[in-house]
Amino acid sequence: MNVAILYRDEIKEYDFGTGHPFHGERYSAFMHMLLKRLAPDDYYRVLKAEAADNQDLLKICDQDYIDFCRDYYHSAASGWVGFYENLTRYQSLDNKPIGMPGQLEAAARLIVGQAKMACDLVQGGEYKKAISVGGGMHHAKQRFGEGFCIYNDVAFSALYLIDKYKLERVLVLDTDAHAGNGTSEYLRSNPNVLYIDIHQDPATVYPGTGFVQEIGANDAKGHTVNIPLPVQAGDASFMKAFDEVVLPLTREYKPQVIVRNGGSDLHFNDGLTYLGVTIAGFKMVGEKVREMAEICGGKQIDLIASGYNAEVLPYAWLSLISGVADLPLTVEEVVKVPAQIEQDQVMEATEKVLEEVRYHHRNYWKCFRD
């Protein structure tokens, strides 16, 4: 058994309240479907992590930010979500809870704790793959939360692996439909990380970053690789992005471990995004990530949280991790696939994007010079 799935019911407290697009039922819906379709003992094990403490959070956040998040979200969970001094100094308004939210800050600490445990399990050799259900808060920054994200467990994972295990080549792959602007800020100058981000064209969706020209800074130029795919890019576009950019880079970089984040918002019927991936496409993405991980002995940490169509989400997550972890699962499509999505009619635009990516990185990677 080489797969650990990190989850505990308290993760459901990561819930911004009724009417907010990010709610905690996503986690229990997924776990219910997983446990119903595949028993844990033979193929994976469900483990519980401890919450991150202040010393863990200080690796990625300033103390005043941590203090604010603790006090503000504790007040919100107690039923008070009105005016709060310095709110917009530390949080965007989309991170303001509605009505009666869950214990958000406590759950956010647990998400970072799961990331820490996942790193330890994989680096310790106990498991080849560790999947954190609820992870992937890639918009959060050192002293500012946004995009439904409070503490950035993606950046934490990379920095923790470098700090504790002295790794020199960590590959972070973001397959969320939105660009990971927070993760990018943390890692853009770090020469020990290759950060690859596949997402919807940032001219058409939040957060408006992640263009091909953003390639990293200082000694890490060329180590940030943005792949902004056109609206309605589907399974074939994603496969092409992996085959022509992501896999060649991975082979040349030779990572010691891979950290991936991203959930179901690539789906064509997500509601907040406008890409074209099908349920079958999620399995393909997972299989491509598993192929990448073969380069580092199968070692991979997976962080999964996003997606805004409650009906689609558990099916997409299940399909994704079945590809990542090679689980014997077949997951059906829950919404009829439109003809234009099935045919991936934006392939020509996708090819132009991939050509631009290779052009902007040709001076940094041999695989793009041919």
> Rounded to an integer, what distance in angstroms lies between the CA atom of residue 91 and that of residue 107?
17
Tokens of 98: 């509605």
DSSP 219: G
**Residue 5 C-alpha from the chain's centroid:** 15
Are 87 and 96 in contact by the 8 Å Cβ rule? The answer is yes
Task: Find all residues with CB under 8 Å of 368, minimum gap 6, and list them.
Answer: 248, 357, 358, 359, 361, 362
> Rounded to an integer, what distance in angstroms lies between the CA atom of residue 210 and that of residue 193?
17
Are 192 and 156 in contact by the 8 Å Cβ rule? The answer is no
| Helices and strands per DSSP (H, E), number in the chain | 14, 8
Tokens of 13: 């407290």
- DSSP string across 230-253: PTT-BHHHHHHHIIIIIHHHHHHH
Are 361 and 72 in contact by the 8 Å Cβ rule? The answer is no
Are 236 and 183 in contact by the 8 Å Cβ rule? The answer is no
Catalytic residue among 138, 139, 178, 267: 139
> Rounded to an integer, what distance in angstroms lies between the CA atom of residue 34 and that of residue 45?
12
> Rounded to an integer, what distance in angstroms lies between the CA atom of residue 205 and that of residue 178?
7
| Tokens 């994989």, located at residue | 122
> Rounded to an integer, what distance in angstroms lies between the CA atom of residue 249 and that of residue 246?
5
Q: Where are the alpha helices (DSSP H) in the chain?
A: 25-37, 40-43, 54-57, 63-77, 87-90, 104-123, 153-165, 181-187, 235-241, 247-253, 279-293, 313-325, 339-342, 347-360
CA distances for 185 relative to 5, 10, 17, 306, 308, angstroms: 28, 29, 28, 20, 25
Residue 139 annotated among the catalytic residues of the structure: yes
Tokens of 10: 């308290």
Q: Which residues are catalytic?
A: 139
